[in-house]
Structure 1
Amino acid sequence: MKDRLRVGLAGFGLLGLLACNPGARPRPAASTPQPAPATSPEDQVHQAPRSADEHAALLARAGELARALIIVDGHIDVPFRLEKTRAPGGAITEDVTRATEGGDFDLPRARAGGLNAPFMSIYVPSSYEERGGATEFADRLIDSVESIIARAPDALALARTPAEVREHFQAGKLSLALGMENGAPLAGDLAKLAHFHARGVRYITLTHSRDNHISDSSFDDARTHGGLSEFGRQVVAEMNRLGVIIDVSHVSDEAFWQVLELSRAPVLASHSSCRRFTPGWQRNMSDEMIRALAKAGGVIMINFGSSFISDEYRRRREAEQALLEAEGLDDDSAAGRARLEAWRAERPPVDFASVGQVADHVEHVIALVGVDHVGLGSDFDGLGDSLPTGLKDVSMYPNLLAELLARGHDDDELAKIAGENALRVWDAVLERAAG
């Protein structure tokens, strides 16, 4: 569905104290990183304390913070994951209110990691733009989120406002917010925007992997509209009016700049990272874009996927995808998986990204525009087996908090990164709508 293929605190293995993905193929132990040239993206890497006592203390403190702070995750693909388990009779066969063997999210792991407000992604594949049925598919995914809440109403609640997120936090409930990934379900009708707002959708990612009738995509070279379509411009205005957050992840650079020009409210990038570390890859955001986003009051929520974090990993994955396409194979098929395993066996392994590298992206945003404009948008359940070592599922947010603590960030800064920045943007969007 999305993308795939070092350890957190420098070279010691604090992250081994929390479980990692047991299904990942073995990797050689990472050596202690060496200082990189000042012109390299790696110049953001910091050395962290190395004693066992210091590591244990950091992790314990991070666990306390994870329980005390509101952690908002801008993008988790649970609904689409569940849709893929739907039985022939129509029932979803996986229950994420209980511990699950697969996937990156379930309620017990969310509680263990301190997660409070994940945006459940109402992800509609780009193919629905052409074949139709996008509106109905989105409604079905929203139904599935409502059914999750109905299974555990004492533990879960739909969140329609930041105030509700805070209310649920005080009550010990986990908030499920809704973010629609791909505007295809609007189907050219602004009334459908009001419909999805009424159902609880609080942000919309304008497009996904291909250009749609609203916006050009960062993944599509066609550049159908040169940014936003005329209808897309109307969508921006109507989202502002209704108080729906505009999500600029996945849009082309041209569309991004047009959104900033048109929007009266701050915008989010719900699950994007920094292009400085992945040069030339338009799915991530350039420094210029991040500065403009921040100037408009917005927030970039860092995607955890290794392809978003590590250019080495991204280039390896691109080579793998090119191989499969050339041979007419799919990486979800047995033949495709076998071909990749054989191809990988002939080459040096490429490690997953590390928690430290994810922290590098967070710190790069802070260095550019300050701590008020960065958050977390993991893309859990949407990345396959490509998540960083030590950030394999929703139980592991404390690993990232520990890494940031080791780099000298205080509790107030971590509160902003964990969730307060995203909630501030959400509040600002509602205030502009009310005004």
Structure 2
Amino acid sequence: MAEPQDATSTAPSPTASSASLTTVDPSGGAEAPDRRDVPGLGDGDGLAALAALDADLDADLAYPDPLAPTTCDPEPGPDAPPGVADPLARARELLREHPVVDGRSGLAPVLRSMHFHDLEAGESLLETDVPRLRRGGVGAQFWCLHPPGADSGTAGSGDLAGVLDLIDVVRDTVHGAPEGLVVAVRADDVVDARNRGRTAVLLGPAPGPALGDSLAALRALHTLGVRSLTPAGSRWAGGPGGLTPFGHEVVREANRLGVLLDLSGCPAQTVRRVLAVTRAPALVSHHPEPLDEDLLRALRAGHGVCMVPCTGTPAEVADALDRVRAAAGAETVALSGAYDTGLPHGPGLGDVSGFPRLIAELLERGWSEAEVTALTWSNVLRVLRGTEFAARTAAGRPAPSRAVIDALGG
């Protein structure tokens, strides 16, 4: 009987196999597999070995993806926990899925005064353009419709024609930047814009005085796409009671239509009264001074938000955000860039591309990812959906209000 062969005696050594399976390109290029030297090419083992070699060669010769991000963010430092990216890289990653909903942009009045602009290509004279919106992770902006003088109580504050002019400017601008901007009138439009890689533009707030004490004007602005109104400066918003009888009608009609109430600039008694009357969440996008803690808690009770303007350095804005979070919770705070409004911005937040630096600052301070995504995205989306829900529930109201301010005594 023949002696049994040792199984290892006929198996080629790993070194020998590697040498027999590759040849060197005489031109000095990369090694390539020589199919003639693959042992057992006709059997399963040989085919598997050849497939593995081809896969290795494909990996070596693979070209870089031209669409892959080319960020120059630094790698995590030596003291970073294993597997945790540096804060700026984490911030940018979070903003890809939960971009910033910016509560106030002053771009519309600025563009109205410019003879030429190209937001898609970039506009160095402005603090906002499409390339920087993308770098800043901005998913939506409220474009303020206050004509010059609307915030100061001058003659322009009650100019409905000025508001209509700005609406025309916004729509024309968005039409000229179809790859970067899209008008949104619902929360779902904002989500759709994010999914398509565009920045949603929400029309508003419009100034309350521009209504001319007419609920019909409010309905007309809503038809044109306006989704936010600032009561401040109106005859019907103020006084000892905070709202006049006609002011109550404005709030109810805004709820019925689905127009968000922006209480920026309103006196404290008006803020309290609106929050007591409205059936929809409210927000404060650009109040001249920090809100008192009792007003912050009232906003929280009504599921509203207080937006903090980004008018300092990242550390200074983070301090303001910490204050609102401590007083009313992370579900009550959001961001207002206040770009192109004439307000100064600190180093690091000089234009809309600076939002990732602010988010990185918050992450370093211990904000959780859930708190950050609520700040940038979820809180404002909740307010928008709450306003839409209030409009649907008010659909059973018999008819639009025909109230007249003089008939109600104010």
Rounded Cα–Cα distance in structure 2 between residues aligned with 1:52 and 1:109: 31
2:206–2:226 CA contact under 8 A, matched in 1: no
Distance 2:284 2:158 in 1: 26
Asked if 1:287 is matched to 2:280, the reply is no
Answer yes or no: is 1:166 the counterpart of 2:172. no
Question: Cα distance, 1:147 vs. partner?
Answer: 0.8
Counterpart-to-counterpart distance in 1, 2:155 and 2:198: 39
Answering whether residue 284 of structure 2 is matched by residue 269 of structure 1, we say: yes
SS at match of 1:201: coil
Q: Provide the residue aligned with 2:351 in structure 1.
A: 393
Flag the 1:233–1:283 CA change in 2: closer, same or farther, 3 A. Answer: farther
Superposed displacement of residue 409, structure 1: 1.8
Paired AA for residue 173 in structure 1: R
Match of 2:52 in 1: none
The Cα shift of 1:362 comes to: 1.3
- Aligned twin of 2:258: 243
CA distance in 2, matches of 1:132, 1:60: 43
Cα pair 1:157 1:168 within 8 Å, conserved: yes
Q: Which runs of 5+ in 2 are unaligned?
A: 1-71, 394-410
Are the structure 2 counterparts of residues 133 and 269 from structure 1 closer, same or farther at C-alpha, using a change threshold of 3 Å? closer
Greater RCO, 1 or 2 (C-alpha within 8 Å, sep 6+) = 1
Q: Is the 8 A contact 1:206 1:215 kept in 2?
A: yes
Structure 2 residue identity aligned to 1:212: S
- Give the Å deviation of 1:52: 8.5
Amino acid at match of 2:286: H
AA matched with 1:429: T
Q: Match of 1:376, as an amino acid?
A: L
Correspondent of 1:430 among 380, 384, 388: 388
Partner of 2:159: 134
The size of the alignment, in residue pairs, is 315
User: What SS is found at the alignment partner of 1:421?
Assistant: helix
Q: Percent identity?
A: 33
Residue equivalent to 2:45: none
CA displacement 1:113-136 (0-9 Å, x = unmatched):
110101111113236764686111
Mapping of residues 191-202 of structure 1, within 5 Å: 191-202=216-227
Q: Which amino acid aligns with 1:400?
A: L
> Is the 8 Å Cα contact of residues 184 and 202 (structure 2) preserved in structure 1?
yes
Return the alpha-carbon distance in structure 1 between the equivalents of residues 112 and 247 of structure 2. 28
Paired residues of 2:158 and 2:211 also in contact (CA < 8 A):
no
| Cα drift, residue 244 of structure 1 | 0.7
Give the whole-Å Cα distance in 1 for the aligned partners of 2:116 and 2:235.
Answer: 34
Aligned to 2:310: 304
1:108 to 122, 125, 131: 131
- Is 1:66–1:397's contact at 8 Å kept on the other side of the alignment? no
Alignment partner of 2:93: what SS? Answer: helix
Q: 1:212 aligns with which of 234, 238, 241?
A: 234
Counterparts of 2:173 and 2:156, CA distance in 1: 28
- Aligned-residue RMSD, C-alpha: 2.3
Equivalent-residue separation in structure 1 for 2:157 and 2:182 (angstroms): 31
8 Å CA contact retained: 2:240, 2:269: no
Q: Which structure 1 segments of 5+ residues have no match?
A: 1-16, 19-49, 86-91, 217-223, 273-281, 306-352
Q: Distance in 1 between matches of 2:180 and 2:124?
A: 20
User: What are the superposed Cα offsets for residues 75-121 of structure 1, whole Å, 9 maximum, x if unpaired?
Assistant: 11100111232xxxxxx422323311222111111011110101111
| Counterpart among 179, 182, 187 of residue 154 in structure 1 | 179
Note the C-alpha offset of 1:297.
Answer: 0.9
Residue 258 of structure 1: how far off its partner (Å): 1.1
Alignment-derived partner of residue 55 in structure 2: none
1:217-246 CA distances to partner (integer Å, 9 max, x unpaired)?
Answer: xxxxxxx67633333222111111111111
User: Residue by residue, what CA displacement relative to the aligned partner does 1:338-357 show, whole Å, maximum 9, x if unpaired?
Assistant: xxxxxxxxxxxxxxx32112
SS in 1 for 2:294: helix
- Structure 2 equivalent of residue 84 of structure 1: 113
3-state SS, counterpart of residue 66 of structure 1: helix
Cα separation, 1, equivalents of 2:121 and 2:231: 32
Greater Cα shift, 153-162 or 399-408: 153-162
Aligned-pair CA distance for 1:154: 3.0
Q: Could you tell me the TM-score, scaled by structure 1's length?
A: 0.68
Map residues 323-402 of structure 1 onto 2, 5 A cutoff: 353-384=312-343, 386-402=344-360
